[in-house]
Amino acid sequence: MTSPVLPSHGRVRPLGLAQVSLTGGFWGERQAVNAAQTLAHCETWMERLGWLANFDRVADGTTGPDRPGWSFSDSEVYKLLEALSWEVARSGDAEAEAAIKRLTARVARAQDQDGYLNTCFGHGDQPPRYSDLEMGHELYNTGHLLQAAVARLRTAGEDDLVRVARRAADHVCRTFGPGGTAAICGHPEIEVGMAEFGRATGEQRYVEQARLFLDRRGHGTLRDIPLGRAYFQDDVPIREADVWRGHAVRALYLAAAAVDVAVELGDDDLLRAIERQWERTVARRTYVTGGMGSRHQDEGFGEDWELPPDRAYCETCAGVASIMVSWRLYLATGDVRYADLIERTLYNVVAVSPSTDGRAFFYANPLHQRVAGRPADQDEVSPRAEAGVRAPWFDVSCCPTNVARTLAGLHGYLATTDDDGLQIHQYASCSVRAELPGGQPVAVDVETAYPQAGTVRVRIAADADTPWTLTLRVPAWADGATLTEGGQTRPVRPGPAQVRRAFRAGEEIVLELPMQPRLTWPDPRIDAVRGCVAVERGPEVLCVESNDLPSPDLLESLVLDPGSAPRAAEGAVLVRGRALDLADRPWAYPAGPLDEQGDDDWFDVPLRPYHGWARRGPSSMRIFVPVAPQERTGA
Ligand SMILES: [Zn+2]
């Protein structure tokens, strides 16, 4: 079976990537651009910056402490190898296959006799191996190597990449296993890599090694740093924590690994702990976009309700990592709330990042951009994560390869099976050809223009001998959805909607999701957006962009009339709004409340999907807009 995550058991089972294919539409187009542009783009940049040559220099004995790239640049090569592996399995692309062989050969040459593989430590006069576990990322890199090898093993079988990964994994187990050094890596990732490598190879000792790393964490195992041990989740044991904190990507990769280990070892307490952390984090520390992480200084979660829109970090990688956690929780429990968050995060974090041509990316995903960015030089590395424009590559360039590997295997997140039938979670034009355990074929073709339109047509493609259940996820926002089957239309509530019978080929089940735009009100404890509303349509969060306003400055003084229903128009959603007349003052804190006079010129404010922002050139932008002072909205 080919899939990034294959638990040995769980409430539902993922489909293999060969059993599902995207056939166009929103995600099909993005996956095609990823294949045609992004994969080669990533390799070109890593070559250009010497991140690939780092492997050659280790092999040739010419490397040193001056090597280019951060200590985690090796991981970008591995994430690209993972993306290429999923792509080859999907399309059989010969260029992607050649790239895998090319990159693998260079990586393999850099591996030491004992299996150690890293270009930043342990060679020439570089710092010794494992001399900076807090910030050195050695095991983090190895974790990504293991995930790449899992992709290769499941799609092409044992090859050089898999053999390199085995030797690296064995080296880690010898060094950090029972009786070895009782240490952990500052950036979790080895855990999720080890757990899946254990599943893919059938060798439980790798899963046990992941458990060891998990259990050592949270006891002050790492040295304290100025950001505090919460930064790398070494402050509280994972079973005792009740919320995610510290560096968001670290917290989420760790949680993903914990679900894997909990499932493989039957550790229900650990699974409950991650569910509990998910619940509180989603309720209090997550943006309306699904984005996670508000603090820039440590790329981390803030306190509960600390969700400023303009200082939202919402790293693209944290979106990818959040999907990794929710997908694992979904497979374990079958609870559709996890699929709901995956959908929100896919459309409003992952889809935001890549440019339309797949050759530039957002790293941070703020919900409010006060000053338009400057056009990015497509030939320059962006030194900063926050620029207001998509950049071709970054000094720290974790996000492009994370987008690449996610999009390359995205069809694996659309549907699952259990003993009784097929569950479809994410709506995209696709075809599914699967089998239930008894051999019953479940084959469907899905046609939809979602999220542009809310009609999802599921056509049965194979006769059934016995009844099976088709389950369609009705998203939490979809009040008023209907399901039509056998000529009957009935309302369906948010949650799983089911149809069970012995289906005949050609039958059609139609889910109609309500796509009228809606206002969304934030919890007043999120002080930074108190008194504001957001507008959503289907799974998409919308935003106002300066280049859609009569004057760009209007974005600062804009208010919306919460009493007027947003309505869909050509290419945009319109909400009644106007500008407040806010004079500049020498001091922004007058003695009494301002009498916010607005001109009475109400106009239709256009809002568009947030994932499309800054695609028509740099702009300022906001998702949350203040509501007009109540007494003046009536008119
Ligand atoms: Zn990133």
- Asked if residues 343 and 472 have their Cβ atoms less than 8 Å apart, the reply is no
Distance, in Å, from the CA atom of 322 to the CA atom of 309, rounded to the nearest integer, reads 19
Centre of ligand 1 from the C-alpha of residue 315, in Å? 6
Q: Measure CA of the first residue to CA of the last residue in the chain; give whole Å.
A: 63
- Asked if residues 577 and 598 have their Cβ atoms less than 8 Å apart, the reply is no
Residue 599: what pLDDT? 66
Centre of ligand 1 from the C-alpha of residue 350, in Å? 11
- pTM of the entire structure? 0.97
Q: What is the mean pLDDT of residues 84-98?
A: 98
How much is the mean pLDDT over the chain?
A: 96
Residue 383: what pLDDT? 83
Centre of ligand 1 from the C-alpha of residue 385, in Å? 9
Token output for 452: 């542009």
Other beta carbons less than 10 A from residue 356's beta carbon: 13
> What pLDDT, in 10s, does the model give residues 359-409?
999 999 999 999 999 988 889 999 877 789 999 999 999 999 999 999 999
Distance, in Å, from the CA atom of 342 to the CA atom of 328, rounded to the nearest integer, reads 11
Centre of ligand 1 from the C-alpha of residue 319, in Å? 9
Centre of ligand 1 from the C-alpha of residue 100, in Å? 22
Centre of ligand 1 from the C-alpha of residue 279, in Å? 24
Other beta carbons less than 10 A from residue 46's beta carbon: 24
Is the per-residue pLDDT at 581 higher than 70?
yes
Centre of ligand 1 from the C-alpha of residue 188, in Å? 14
**Secondary structure element (H or E) that encloses residue 398, with its range:** helix 398-408
Q: Among 278-282, 342-346, 451-455, 599-603, whose mean pLDDT is lowest?
A: 599-603
Laid out side by side, the sheet with 468-474 consists of 13-14, 415-418, 421-424, 468-474, 495-501
Nearest to 369 by CA among 605, 615, 618, 582: 618
> Can you give 535-552 as a three-state secondary structure string?
EEECCEEEEEEHHHCCCC
Centre of ligand 1 from the C-alpha of residue 365, in Å? 11
Distance, in Å, from the CA atom of 100 to the CA atom of 88, rounded to the nearest integer, reads 9
- Relative to beta strand 488-492, strand 621-622 is unpaired
Residue whose token pair is 């600062």: 556
> What pLDDT, in 10s, does the model give residues 554-580?
999 999 999 999 999 988 999 999 999
Centre of ligand 1 from the C-alpha of residue 316, in Å? 6
Indicate the burial class of 4 (C-beta count within 10 angstroms; 0-12, 13-18, 19 or more): buried
Is the per-residue pLDDT at 634 higher than 60?
no
> What pLDDT, in 10s, does the model give residues 47-72?
999 999 999 999 999 999 999 999 99
Percent of the chain with pLDDT over 90: 93
Is the per-residue pLDDT at 633 higher than 70?
no
Is the per-residue pLDDT at 597 higher than 80?
no
Helix, coil or strand: residue 101: helix
Centre of ligand 1 from the C-alpha of residue 72, in Å? 12
Q: Among 113-117, 195-199, 419-423, 591-595, whose mean pLDDT is lowest?
A: 591-595
Nearest to 614 by CA among 382, 401, 360, 433: 360
Centre of ligand 1 from the C-alpha of residue 560, in Å? 34
Distance, in Å, from the CA atom of 49 to the CA atom of 64, rounded to the nearest integer, reads 16
Is the per-residue pLDDT at 635 higher than 50?
no
